[in-house]
Amino acid sequence: MSIETPPAENAEDSSRPLLFAHHDAPPPMTRFIAGLQHLMAVFGGIITAPLVLARGMGLDTTDSNYLITSALLISGLATLVQVTRIGPVGSGLLSVQGTSFTFIGPILFAFFSLPETMVDADKLSVIFGSIAVAALLMLPFAANVHKLHFVFTPTVAGTTVFLIGSSLVLNNLGSLSAEVQAAPTTVAATSSVVLALTVFSVTLLLSLSRHFWLRMTSIVLGFAVGFLLALSFGKIDFTLLGQLDTTFVPQPFHFGFGFDWGVTLMMLPIFVVSMMETIGDLTATSALSKLPTKGPEYWGRIRGGLIADAVDCLLAAVFHSFPNITFAQNNGVIRLTGIASRKVGIVTGCMLMTLGLFPFIGGLFQLLPNAVLTGGTMLMFLMVAFAGFDIVRRGATSRRAWFIAALSVGGGVLLAEVAGHLDFLHAQLQMFLQFHVSNGAFLAIIFELVLPASLFAAVVPGQTTAR
């Protein structure tokens, strides 16, 4: 999930002239500088998701660095797929791909729900294999998205996003609490709290800044402040960098290949939400690029973008990188620079792939203590939860939407608590039902389909309802 709400099409966006339009070819230096600006806007988001996952899984240095470094390289390759638009694949817009925060919760849940007898590599092989199958299943949905609007409503999306964000916030707080409790001394525990609060505060202040680039780079700058503070506390160990290879080459099925239907079912509603996010992001990009936001050409780009998302997620799963989706941050860069040329996206994709060739880049982020990572990601996770609430609020035209959202959230959590005691269920189904996010998403879809709007029609005193 991107951490910035995509700008809507408005009069200001429509009237602002572009320096370079969608099909233009800016001069090489202009193209490079614009591509670098897009890279700065997404770099923190791309590298943080695999770092959180690797740290949360407790992976060793080698495996963690593989996941972090491959995220950069695969995000670059995925961006090229999205931007170039080969046949029906790709939107052809200046749209950068990156690892998604939306999948962090379900992936961590799946990792710890798989049998304890499995080693980390086997668990990762099952997770990536299951994600690959889910990505394949999303291809027909992507190709027919214009026919499915009655199912994938703002209520369904908002409910799911809220559940994802709130679970990430709780997990983050639990991680910090565990670190403080495990600290050997009071001084060590206090320093962890100070690190987390400092990084959170710096990231929050920068994200509220009026300066565009301070907002866009708030994650990386927050981590930089945390790194320097942790260094002064003696919490940085540079010996880790000596354990890394000098170059990186991605390997298909690096951890092997496995599959689990329970994990695939868990991922499907998250893919649906990501698909809806992509529609919003690509619509905003089309508006900023002075391209149609309705009609056959528009829907052709939307279908192509969604198909590219599914293909990119499949590609990422094959090379054991986490799912890639369209980012929203780049719309802000287009608005600022006035450059909508998709050739800039090609430059950004190549830059990401180049960074992904050097494990040292990911190694620097691995040096961050858990408290710094917790403080730096807390704001993003809070924004995810708020975004879910806001999606429901903006799409709620009646009491029905709020009823569905509340019932789905409550029902999803309750079902997850009960499922663990239903021993008669198949193990895979039981694991699936124990994840409250996917429960809530599927309940929202069911309620959206079966609850008639007439049940929630307001009745004015003294009047009778029409039969």
Helix axes 261-288, 104-113, angle to 10 degrees: 170
Which pLDDT score is estimated for 149?
66
**Top-ranked range on mean pLDDT: pick from 210-224, 265-279, 335-349, 417-431:** 335-349
Q: Is residue 465 part of a domain?
A: no
User: CA-to-CA distance for 306 and 139, rounded, in angstroms?
Assistant: 8
Q: Is residue 31 part of a domain?
A: yes
Cβ–Cβ < 8 Å for 326, 309: yes
Integer angstrom CA distances of residue 211 from 217, 218, 225, 338, 379: 10, 11, 18, 17, 18
Which pLDDT score is estimated for 4?
44
Which pLDDT score is estimated for 240?
79
Integer angstrom CA distances of residue 450 from 141, 144, 378, 400: 21, 22, 36, 12
pLDDT, tens only, 294-352: 888 888 999 999 999 999 999 999 999 999 888 877 888 888 788 899 999 999 999 99
Q: Is residue 466 part of a domain?
A: no
Question: Which string of b and e fits 115-154 if b means at least 16 CB within 10 Å?
Answer: eeeeeeeebbbbbbbbbbbbbeebeebbeebeeeeeebbb
Which pLDDT score is estimated for 118?
92
* pLDDT at 53 exceeding the cut of 70: yes
User: CA-to-CA distance for 356 and 370, rounded, in angstroms?
Assistant: 23
- Mean pLDDT in the chain? 85
Which pLDDT score is estimated for 124?
95
Which pLDDT score is estimated for 75?
94
* pLDDT at 56 exceeding the cut of 60: yes
Which pLDDT score is estimated for 315?
94
Integer angstrom CA distances of residue 19 from 16, 27, 290: 10, 12, 12
* pLDDT at 416 exceeding the cut of 50: yes
The β-bridge partners of 99 are: 324
Give the percent of the chain with pLDDT over 70. Answer: 93
Q: Is residue 1 part of a domain?
A: no
Q: Where are the beta strands (DSSP E) in 273-342?
A: 324-326
Question: Which string of b and e fits 363-375 if b means at least 16 CB within 10 Å?
Answer: bbbbbbbbbbbbb
Single-letter residue type at 325:
I
Which pLDDT score is estimated for 15?
54
Which pLDDT score is estimated for 200?
93
What is the token pair recorded at 65? 């660095």
Q: Is residue 459 part of a domain?
A: no
Mean pLDDT of 444-453: 85
Which pLDDT score is estimated for 150?
67
Q: Is residue 84 part of a domain?
A: yes
pLDDT, tens only, 83-133: 998 889 999 999 999 888 888 888 998 999 898 889 999 999 999 999 999
Q: Is residue 3 part of a domain?
A: no
pLDDT, tens only, 364-406: 888 888 899 888 888 878 887 887 888 788 776 678 888 999 9
Which pLDDT score is estimated for 457?
65
* pLDDT at 462 exceeding the cut of 90: no
Domain housing 319? 11-451
The model carries a pTM of 0.79
pLDDT, tens only, 128-167: 999 999 999 999 988 887 777 667 778 887 888 888 888 8
Integer angstrom CA distances of residue 285 from 13, 92, 218, 279: 10, 11, 22, 10
Radius of gyration of the CA atoms of the chain, in A: 22
Q: Which residue has the higher pLDDT, 459 or 457?
A: 457
pLDDT band at 431 (very low <50, low <70, confident <90, very high): confident
What element of type H or E holds 130? helix 120-143
How many domains does the chain contain in total? 1
Which pLDDT score is estimated for 7?
43
Q: Is residue 380 part of a domain?
A: yes
What element of type H or E holds 97? strand 97-99
pLDDT band at 18 (very low <50, low <70, confident <90, very high): confident
What is the token pair recorded at 422? 């239903």
Integer angstrom CA distances of residue 120 from 61, 114, 127, 243, 286: 13, 10, 11, 20, 42
Cα end-to-end span (Å), the chain? 45
Which pLDDT score is estimated for 430?
77
Cβ–Cβ < 8 Å for 222, 202: yes
Q: Which residue has the higher pLDDT, 461 or 390?
A: 390
